[in-house]
Copies of this chain bind each other. A is one copy, B any other.
Amino acid sequence: MIRNGVKQRWAEGKPVLNGWLSIANSFSAEIMAAQGYDSITIDLQHGIVGYDGAVPMLQAMRASGVTPLVRVPWLDPADIMKALDAGAYGVICPMINTRAEAERLVSYVRYPPAGVRSFGPSRALFSAGPGYAAEADDEIICLAMIETAQAYENLEDILATPGLDGVYIGPADLTLGLQGKRYAPGFDRREPEMIEAIKTILHAAHRAGKRAALHNGTPDYAAEAVGWGFDLVTVSNDVRLLAGAAEASVRTFREL
Contacts and interface: CB of A to CB of B under 8 A. Distances in A.
A168 to B, nearest CB: 13
A26 B25 CA distance: 9
Interface residues of A, number: 93
Contacts of A194: none
Interface string A81-103: 11001100000001100000000
Given A63-B127, A220-B252, A148 B246 contact: no
Contacts of A231: none
A239 B82 CA distance: 16
B238 A242 contact: yes
Contacts of A62: 60, 62-63
A225 to B, nearest CB: 10
B94 A118 contact: yes
Contact of A256 (B19, B37, B220, B253): B220
A122 B46 contact: yes
A37 B250 contact: yes
Interface string A229-244: 0000101101101111
A243 B46 contact: no
Nearest to A222: B253
A160 interface: no
A173 B152 CA distance: 36
A165 interface: no
Given A73-B82, A242-B242, A256-B220, A60 B52 contact: no
Given A148-B116, A249-B219, A55 B32 contact: no
Contacts of A5: none
9 contacts: A24-B55, A25-B25, A31-B239, A35-B246, A111-B185, A113-B181, A119-B172, A235-B249, A238-B246
B73 A81 contact: yes
A53 B52 CA distance: 7
Contacts of A60: 56, 59-60, 62
A236 B253 CA distance: 11
B120 A85 contact: no
A239 to B, nearest CB: 6
A23 B30 contact: no
A233 to B, nearest CB: 8
Given A85-B46, A122-B239, A253 B28 contact: no
Interface in A13-59: 17, 19, 22-28, 30-32, 34-37, 43, 45-48, 50-53, 55-56, 59
